[in-house]
Structure 1
Amino acid sequence: MNSNPESDYEYDYSPTPSTTPATCTDALCVFLAIATVVIFVLGVAGNGLVIWMAGFKMKKSVNTTWYLSLAVSDFLFCSFLPISVAYMVKKDWVFGLFMCKFTSFILFLNMFSSIFLLVIISVDRCVVVMFPVWAQNKRTIRKAAAVVMLAWIIAAAFSSPLAVFRDIHYDAHEERNICYNNYTSDQQHAAVVFCRFVFGFLMPFLIIIFCYIVIIQKLKLNQSARSKKPIKIMTALIAAFLICWLPFHTFALMELNHHKYESILPTGLVIGATFASANSCLNPFLYAFMGKDFKRKCYALLSKIENAIEEEGRSTVRGTSITTSGEGRLSTVV
């Protein structure tokens, strides 16, 4: 039995036509559209800066390999957000069947790859803290690149069903196209949702929690009681992961019984997707910019920009002063 496109709300930003206008006019829709645009701008700018710093300005290392890969994943994710905003505002899919499939695939590809890379970074940090000598001898850039490539391959495998089941339905009543998940059975729908929840949230979250518990215990033994910054940072990382992804997966699980939650699903799924997107714009600040090397490079870059602006300002002032003086002399002579 095919899914009803009017009841399949996942990444379909238009609820039932009979209850909402054909354009984004309500306050919540406008707010979420603006929020997604902000996430897009911050995500592209922040991750673009990390890509530039880690790829071209910093010495190649295992850590920069993680940061660069995570930034590329989040940059791609954020780059496709304008399409989601356009669909959210117009409530009409105008990009064709291929883009309906490809956009969902690429968004979930980067969702999985980003989460897997967060797990890799957490495990790597745990290994470095617990086995510093082994890590110093065995951690290499080549091995890190191989692990990243494997993460992307697994992410692509998990994302493929989104391309297979994605389809377009034309609503003659509203004269608009709907890009939706056309599952052939409820079992297929449940399998996709549970697989995404278990492998895209639950297991990664448990692994990250375990790694940071181990790291925190190790830091407590090795550091003075005054040094609480690493613990605070790790708490922020875990909280950000939970806050950003829990709403998305909660509403996705509720969608399995969409008739029961039909009144809140359209809004809930869009809010969940917006929170999930926010994780890609937070990652550069939580994972990259907190590092000493990144902060030092960023401060150096900002100092150069500031000096360039100040120098340009002084040059402009001097030029204006010279011009004014010349005009004054000319007026006197005349």
Structure 2
Amino acid sequence: MGTSGMDPDGRSFLGDSVNDTNPEDDSVVSNDFSTSLGALILSLVFVLGVPGNLFIVWSILARIRRRSVTTLLILNLACADGFIMALTIFFIVYLAKQTWVFGHPMCKCLFYLCNANMYASIFLITLMSVHRMVVMLWPQRLSQRITRKTVRWVILGMWGLVMVISVPSLVFRDVREDSDEKNKTRLVCAPEHSLARYVRFQYALESVCGFILPYAVIITSYVLILRRLRQTKFRRKVRSEKLILAIVVTFGLFWLPYHVVNMIQVAAEWYPMDSPTREILDHIQKSSRAVTSAFAFISSCANPILYTFAGKSYIKRNGFAFMAKLFEGTSDQAGNKKSRMKGKNSSGQNAESVNTSTQNGTAEVS
């Protein structure tokens, strides 16, 4: 970020020394309270998130033979979340020491991987929502064409896109020295933007592609899903929609502060260097960046908790297999499907058969 206003001695109002070649002279690790709180949040996230997501991956790979489309998406989401949770140990050390000790390559790679996993998480959640919409609105047409093979190719393409649009975090990130008001020098892994437009480009790209556009698709999908649910009497479908909706809402709540700070940072770049408004905006984003970034990590450990609550009815009967039972969904209904269809065909209730097909198509996570 650009500097805030300068006093006559050539120091910023926030107390950091001026670097004429690098306007981003105020470090997010210069705030003791923010970094301490961020380190505490990340420690809790690491303890809960790593085993929780590993358990989800194990449940799907070891316990489920026939994986539905939703299950494949949840598996990828758990892998992305689990991987980013494993990286938190580096950021805990960074915030605790308030200096970067892992070198230049790790600085670039770790933040690149975090950025990539941020995109992957929201894109996977978006795919879940779009898939639910398709099988709800067109159960007899498009839903039959959405095979697991097709979904695998879509997921592979998504990961390729994620790796490409995360490149700015790899390019505009490096280790530099930073001095505080006590002339104490620390190493910080921070963005390095030579021009203001690069700041606007990177953080606007993150928020638009990683939050605003995906959420617009998600909201549209769920509006159509809810409209469809009101038109059918098979209310058992609502349970799977509620689970995915809970994932969507949880992700949004935890990532919204991060993207608000991004927009504040982008807005600050439109003001002159000596503008009081810019100084205020700079102060807000620099003092809150560590906390909002750590807060965003919580979303990656929240999903295992959501799944546990959703599958609590299976825990007593299935023990550690309860998560697999939750994700299997349609396997419990497979035996009853034929009997339902026979009964309805014999009585000539064709319209109800169509609705039953809709139910089975949408109950992958029941």
Structure 1 residues 270-279 or 224-233, which shifts more?
224-233
Q: Which 5+ residue runs of structure 1 have no aligned equivalent?
A: 305-334
Percentage identity across aligned positions? 25
Q: Could you list the runs of 4 or more consecutive aligned residues of structure 1 that deviate by over 4 angstroms after TM superposition?
A: 224-235, 288-292, 294-299
CA contact (8 A) 1:2 1:182 kept: no
Cα separation, 1, equivalents of 2:317 and 2:108 = 42
1:271-310 equivalent positions in 2, closer than 5 A: 271-286=291-306, 288-289=307-308, 296=314, 300-302=318-320
How far is the alpha carbon of 1:31 from its aligned partner?
A: 3.3
User: Following TM superposition, by how much is the alpha carbon of 1:296 offset from its aligned partner in structure 2, in angstroms?
Assistant: 4.3
RMSD: 2.7
> Which of the residues 73, 92, 110 maps onto 2:80?
73
- SS of the aligned residue for 2:119 comes to helix
The answer for the alignment partner of 2:151 in structure 1 is 144
Segment drifting more, 95-104 vs 227-236: 227-236
In the TM superposition, residue 235 of structure 1 has moved relative to its aligned partner by: 5.2
Amino acid at match of 1:74: D
Change (3 A) 1:180 1:118: same
2:212 is the alignment partner of 1:202: yes
Partner of 1:239: 249
Residues 80, 120 of structure 2: 8 Å contact kept: yes
Tell me the equivalent position of 2:285.
265
Task: Give 1:295 deviation, angstroms.
Answer: 7.1
User: 1:121 maps to which residue?
Assistant: 128
Equivalent runs, 1:166-181 vs 2, <5 Å: 166-171=173-178, 173-181=183-191
* TM-score normalised according to structure 1 size: 0.78
Contact preservation (8 Å) 2:129, 2:244: no
Q: Which residue of 1 aligns with 2:141?
A: 134
Deviation (angstroms), 1:191: 0.7
What TM-score does the superposition give when structure 2 sets the normalisation length? 0.72
Structure 2: gaps spanning 5 or more residues: 1-19, 269-277, 323-366
What is the CA distance between 1:33 and its match in structure 2? 1.7
2:154 aligned partner, one-letter code: V
Residue 85 of structure 2 is aligned to residue 53 of structure 1: no
Q: Which residue of 1 aligns with 2:29?
A: 14
Cα distance change on mapping 1:295 and 1:76 into 2, 3 Å: farther
The answer as to whether partners of 1:183 and 1:189 remain within 8 angstroms in 2 is: yes
Shift of residue 238, structure 1, vs aligned partner: 4.0
Q: How far 1:118 moved relative to its partner?
A: 0.5
Report the alpha carbon displacement of residue 92 of structure 1 after superposing the two structures with TM.
Answer: 0.5
Where 1:199 maps in the other structure, the secondary structure is helix
Shift of 1:185: 0.5
Which residue among 32, 38, 47 is the counterpart of 2:38?
A: 32
> Number of matched residues?
289
Residue 29 (structure 1) shift? 3.8
1:116-153 deviations in Å (ceiling 9; x for gaps) = 10100110111111122235521221111111111111
